[in-house]
Chain A
Amino acid sequence: MASNNAAGSIVQHEGTEEGENLKLFDSSRFAHVLGRFLVLASAVVFSSPTVQSQFSVYSKAANYSVAVVERNGTDYLGLLELLEPLGVVSARQNGDHWKLRYNDVESEFVMGQARTRIRGKDFNLPASFVLENGRGLVPILGLGTLLPQILGGPITLNLFGRRLFIGDVAIHFTAEVVNTEPAKLVMNFGNPVNPMIATEPGKLEMIFTHDPVVAPGSQTLTFDSKAIPSATFEESNGIAKLVVTTTVPAMASFSNDGRTITVTPASTPVLPAHAPPQTPPAVPATVPPAVASREPGAPVRQHVFAVIDPAHGGDERGAALTDQLQEKDVTLAFSRHLRELLGGRGLSAWLERDSDVTLSLDQRAAMSNASGAALYIAVHATSESNGVRLYTALLPSGGPNQGWFLDWDTAQTAFEGLSQITAASVTTELESKQVSVRNLSAPLRPLNNVVTAAFAIEIGPESDDITQLSSPEYQERLAEAVVSGVADVRDQLEARRK
């Protein structure tokens, strides 16, 4: 059966809220979960871990994966499943004979025989055709013979990597290190790509599950850079993987509509220099867990109190507030004020971006979720002259949670109440400073993807003078009120995190 998994569609459930009606801890649900756990535990105990064997197909019609099965020591694929996404296909079994019709092309296979007939011509498969419950299986090694005849066009088959390219669909890329300070690796792809990014000490992996990315001229690329010395392209089990070797913690950002990926050393959060000695137990992480390498022996989880997300950045400029003033610049400046003032109160804070880089909404949510922070604050800016607006998530329709995993679109659900309490506290503090403020819900990503208390603040000028937005005094005044509001509910936020 063809599968088309949406990467990152679920997020691990890290906590529950006392006093809220969470089905997860209903007794019946608990029993159900316990039962599942026992079954899963049995499976783990009595079987060795296995990796699903798959074969990936890339075409102009669709990119998808098909499960690989082993018969008599040979890898086979279901031919019907392989062809279904590509055209009109049907099959009919008559005894040991299996007739396949793809668009107008007739093929005939016989159980246990290697000889097959396509378009009236005979061909030999490298292994016998297998017929199981009406399902026709052909050896992967025979696809190079079969498919050009059935599809009527050229294919490129990578047997080692289990990847099949139908027509001219391959995505090529170039990679070069730009020796700026710090050095960065810039990769330009022929078409937009959407790899899964994973980091480990010493390397950053880009895993292409549904992108027809192909190897550059050489499998291994070397760069004249100490921070990013090399990259290796690997293909196996229907997946392409680009492994970038790094000597420093690195992160990847996307730009040019997903055609460019830039790998840069991760920005190091700045700890408040004047943090009081009674700093709470939550020790700021030196780098966010999602993008950081961890020194051996270091604590497994070190949490910041708040993650601050300066919205937009890089190619994504946000609103043009004036001819010279971009939303992305105002959000960064205001976020830095927030970080400094939170630090002054002993509340460690970390910026998701501390420079002009592009981050996707999913990346922002993932970074926040991985940080284990008690609070997520997104910062926006507007030229509308109404003071400040605070937003909590307007949750969309989501899919069901799967056991311990939450639906990505509604991951915020369990924290909705705490988010509103926090926003209300900030509203009170802003009003006490005579700042016009409005508290609303909004369909504003990634608020709904964040698994902690979360709100967004949109700062606007108090009058028609838009330049007030870039005034440090005005920003500081607003930031002080926000930080006071957050500090007032600090205990609730910390309690929930524990």
Chain B
Amino acid sequence: MIPRHLIIAVVVLGVMASGMSVYVWNMRGRVVRTEASTPNSQPVARPAAGPSEQVTLYVAYDEGGMLRPQAARIPLPSGRQERAEELLRALVDIYLGKSSPHVLGTGSEIRGVYLADPGLAVIDLNAAFANGHRSGVLVEELTLTSLVATLSANIPAITQVKILVDGKERESLAGHVDLTAFYDVARVNQLVTQLAAEP
């Protein structure tokens, strides 16, 4: 004969287990509905951090095939490497804008900039940047010079620049301009002078 208090305890536990199951099932449905009904509205772009500072961006203009220095105020963090990244991202934002003077492919991004002593900067582009880039000597040269000149004009003591794509070396940007080399900033600045002159 099973004691009466044991029967009551089993029944109570069974009711509680059933109740918990129903509660958990309802909660699961609510989470699914919540996730489905609220799309991610967070901005993809990184949050601006730090006070705005005046910088010089070397902007490429396909019209005339020129490179022109352009003053801009952008928020810059304090770290040297982060500043370098923000600078180049600000430059790329100009090229991705509606009235871009030098159109880049959709999704072009600066993945990172790495500063290595002594004076070497490594710019890491994403694959979309290179894969979507227009092919041609001048159009590729304008992009390369724009990146190198902007970096060296605003980050002191950079003497050499290397460009990677998705963290790897690539033979050329879009079939012409060499990406296997380490570029002397002094040499590139001579090219900047040539590209700044009216054709």
Mark A residues whose CB is within 8 Å of B: 312, 316, 318-320, 327, 361, 380, 382-384, 386, 389, 391, 394-397, 409, 436, 438, 440-445, 448, 456, 458
Please state if B144 and A443 are interface contacts (CB–CB under 8 Å). yes
Q: How far is the CB of B48 from chain A (nearest CB, A)?
A: 33
Please state if A458 and B138 are interface contacts (CB–CB under 8 Å). yes
Q: How far is the CB of B171 from chain A (nearest CB, A)?
A: 7
> Which residues on the A side are within 8 Å of B187 (C-beta)?
394-396
Mark B residues whose CB is within 8 Å of A: 62, 65, 134-139, 141, 144, 160, 171-172, 175-178, 180-184, 187-188, 190-191, 194-195, 199
> Which residues on the B side are within 8 Å of A394 (C-beta)?
187-188, 190-191
Provide the bound-state CA to CA distance between A383 and B175, in Å.
Answer: 14
Please state if B137 and A444 are interface contacts (CB–CB under 8 Å). yes
Please state if B175 and A441 are interface contacts (CB–CB under 8 Å). no
Provide the bound-state CA to CA distance between A320 and B134, in Å.
Answer: 9
Please state if B181 and A409 are interface contacts (CB–CB under 8 Å). yes
Pick the residue among A382, A436, A438, A441 that contacts B136 (CB under 8 A): A382
Residue in A386, A395, A442 whose Cβ sees the most chain B Cβ within 10 Å: A442
Pick the residue among B62, B136, B178 that contacts A443 (CB under 8 A): B178
Please state if B184 and A442 are interface contacts (CB–CB under 8 Å). no
- The answer to whether residues A442 and B141 also contact, given A380-B176, A397-B182, A397-B184 and a CB cut-off of 8 A, is yes
Provide the bound-state CA to CA distance between A448 and B181, in Å.
Answer: 11
> Which residues on the A side are within 8 Å of B194 (C-beta)?
440-441
Please state if B182 and A396 are interface contacts (CB–CB under 8 Å). yes
> Which residues on the A side are within 8 Å of B177 (C-beta)?
442-444
- The answer to whether residues A440 and B141 also contact, given A380-B176, A384-B136 and a CB cut-off of 8 A, is yes
Q: How far is the CB of A159 from chain B (nearest CB, A)?
A: 35
Q: Considering only CB atoms, which chain A residue lies closest to B190 in the complex?
A: A441
B interface: dominant SS: mixed
21 A–B pairs (Cβ distance < 8 Å), ordered by A: A316-B175, A318-B135, A319-B136, A380-B136, A382-B138, A383-B136, A384-B138, A394-B190, A396-B182, A396-B184, A397-B183, A440-B141, A441-B190, A442-B141, A442-B177, A443-B141, A443-B144, A443-B181, A444-B137, A444-B176, A456-B137
Please state if A440 and B176 are interface contacts (CB–CB under 8 Å). no
Pick the residue among B135, B171, B199 that contacts A361 (CB under 8 A): B171
> Which residues on the A side are within 8 Å of B176 (C-beta)?
380, 444
Provide the bound-state CA to CA distance between A396 and B160, in Å.
Answer: 9
Q: How far is the CB of A316 from chain B (nearest CB, A)?
A: 7
Q: How far is the CB of B163 from chain A (nearest CB, A)?
A: 10
Pick the residue among A389, A436, A440 that contacts B191 (CB under 8 A): A440
> Which residues on the B side are within 8 Å of A396 (C-beta)?
178, 181-184, 187
> Which residues on the B side are within 8 Å of A386 (C-beta)?
65, 199
Q: How far is the CB of B79 from chain A (nearest CB, A)?
A: 26
> Which residues on the B side are within 8 Å of A440 (C-beta)?
138, 141, 191, 194-195
> Which residues on the A side are within 8 Å of B195 (C-beta)?
440
Provide the bound-state CA to CA distance between A342 and B178, in Å.
Answer: 29
Q: How far is the CB of B195 from chain A (nearest CB, A)?
A: 7
> Which residues on the A side are within 8 Å of B171 (C-beta)?
361
Pick the residue among B138, B160, B175 that contacts A318 (CB under 8 A): B175
> Which residues on the B side are within 8 Å of A448 (C-beta)?
178, 181
Provide the bound-state CA to CA distance between A458 and B190, in Å.
Answer: 20
Provide the bound-state CA to CA distance between A395 and B188, in Å.
Answer: 9
Q: Considering only CB atoms, which chain B residue lies closest to A320 in the complex?
A: B135
Q: Considering only CB atoms, which chain A residue lies closest to B62 in the complex?
A: A384
- Besides the known contacts A384-B138, A440-B138, 15 further A-B residue pairs in the complex with CB atoms under 8 A apart: A380-B137, A382-B136, A383-B136, A384-B139, A394-B190, A394-B191, A395-B187, A397-B181, A397-B183, A440-B141, A440-B191, A442-B138, A445-B172, A456-B137, A458-B137
Q: Considering only CB atoms, which chain B residue lies closest to A438 in the complex?
A: B199
> Which residues on the B side are within 8 Å of A409 (C-beta)?
181
> Which residues on the B side are within 8 Å of A319 (C-beta)?
134-136, 175
Please state if B138 and A389 are interface contacts (CB–CB under 8 Å). yes
Q: How far is the CB of B137 from chain A (nearest CB, A)?
A: 5
> Which residues on the B side are within 8 Å of A395 (C-beta)?
187
> Which residues on the A side are within 8 Å of B138 (C-beta)?
382, 384, 389, 440, 442, 458
Provide the bound-state CA to CA distance between A436 and B190, in Å.
Answer: 22
> Which residues on the B side are within 8 Å of A384 (C-beta)?
62, 65, 136, 138-139
Q: Considering only CB atoms, which chain B residue lies closest to A395 in the complex?
A: B187
Please state if B175 and A443 are interface contacts (CB–CB under 8 Å). no
Provide the bound-state CA to CA distance between A380 and B141, in Å.
Answer: 14
Provide the bound-state CA to CA distance between A144 and B170, in Å.
Answer: 38
Pick the residue among B65, B184, B191 that contacts A441 (CB under 8 A): B191
The 9 closest A-B pairs by CB, nearest first: A396-B181, A319-B135, A397-B182, A382-B136, A443-B178, A445-B178, A438-B199, A458-B137, A397-B184
Please state if A397 and B141 are interface contacts (CB–CB under 8 Å). no
> Which residues on the B side are within 8 Å of A445 (C-beta)?
172, 178, 180
Q: How far is the CB of B41 from chain A (nearest CB, A)?
A: 38
Provide the bound-state CA to CA distance between A72 and B120, in Å.
Answer: 49
Please state if B137 and A397 are interface contacts (CB–CB under 8 Å). no
Q: How far is the CB of A326 from chain B (nearest CB, A)?
A: 11
Please state if B183 and A443 are interface contacts (CB–CB under 8 Å). yes
Please state if B178 and A389 are interface contacts (CB–CB under 8 Å). no
Please state if A382 and B137 are interface contacts (CB–CB under 8 Å). yes
> Which residues on the B side are within 8 Å of A382 (C-beta)?
136-139
Q: How far is the CB of A173 from chain B (nearest CB, A)?
A: 23
> Which residues on the B side are within 8 Å of A320 (C-beta)?
135
Provide the bound-state CA to CA distance between A395 and B134, in Å.
Answer: 23
Please state if B135 and A327 are interface contacts (CB–CB under 8 Å). yes
